[in-house]
Amino acid sequence: MKDYKSLLVNTSLKITPQRLALLKEIDKKGHANIDELYREIQKQFPTISLATIYKNITSLQEAGVISEICIHQKPKYEIKKHPHAHFICKNCGKIIDVPFDELVSEEIERRYPNSQKELYIYGLCKECNGNS
Ligand SMILES: [Zn+2]
Ligand SMILES: [Zn+2]
């Protein structure tokens, strides 16, 4: 199991069981939206409100621990890692991380500093392709 505490140590955020649970869920799912996270976190913290989840997600995002990706108008969250592109299956909606050359990312940063770099590729995943 990953040490989620270490993700929070270098931020100004307090380490709380709720935040650790959120990070663990996001990491487990790879990419998760608020509803999915709310459902899972509620199992461990039955009294937690959706507003609290939102608040924690926002602070984790502001601290640069997680990043937001916007797919089908619904934001999903993932643990922040090196730049990568997202492959989205047009059939089942699965999201897969695909490598995105660091050089491309650096070049974009050079031309457009502080830009939000998101790259989406749409197609059919292996499973959906095989079944067609
Ligand atoms: Zn698919
Ligand atoms: Zn991703």
Quick: pLDDT tens for 82-131. Answer: 889 999 999 998 999 998 888 888 899 999 998 888 888 999 999 999 86
Together in a domain, 16 and 52 = yes
Distance in Å, CA 130 to ligand 1 centroid: 9
The 10s digit of each residue's pLDDT in 75-96 is 899 998 888 999 999 999 899 9
Ligand closest to the CA atom of residue 86: 2
Where residue 29 sits, what CATH number does that domain have?
A: 1.10.10.10
The neighbourhood of ligand 1, an ion, using CB within 5 A, equals 89, 91-92, 94, 125, 128
Together in a domain, 16 and 68 = yes
Please state, in angstroms and rounded to a whole number, the distance separating the CA atoms of residues 17 and 14: 10
The 10s digit of each residue's pLDDT in 29-75 is 999 999 999 999 999 999 999 999 999 999 999 999 999 988 777 88
pLDDT at residue 131 in the model: 61
| Number of domains making up the chain | 2
Q: What are the phi and psi torsion angles at 39 (to 5°)?
A: -60, -45
Together in a domain, 75 and 90 = no
Residue (of 41, 42, 15, 10) closest to 28 by Cα position:
41
Domain that holds residue 37: 5-79
pLDDT at residue 12 in the model: 92
Percent helix, strand, coil in the chain, to 5, is 45, 20, 35
Please state, in angstroms and rounded to a whole number, the distance separating the CA atoms of residues 79 and 75: 14
Distance in Å, CA 34 to ligand 2 centroid: 16
Distance in Å, CA 42 to ligand 1 centroid: 28
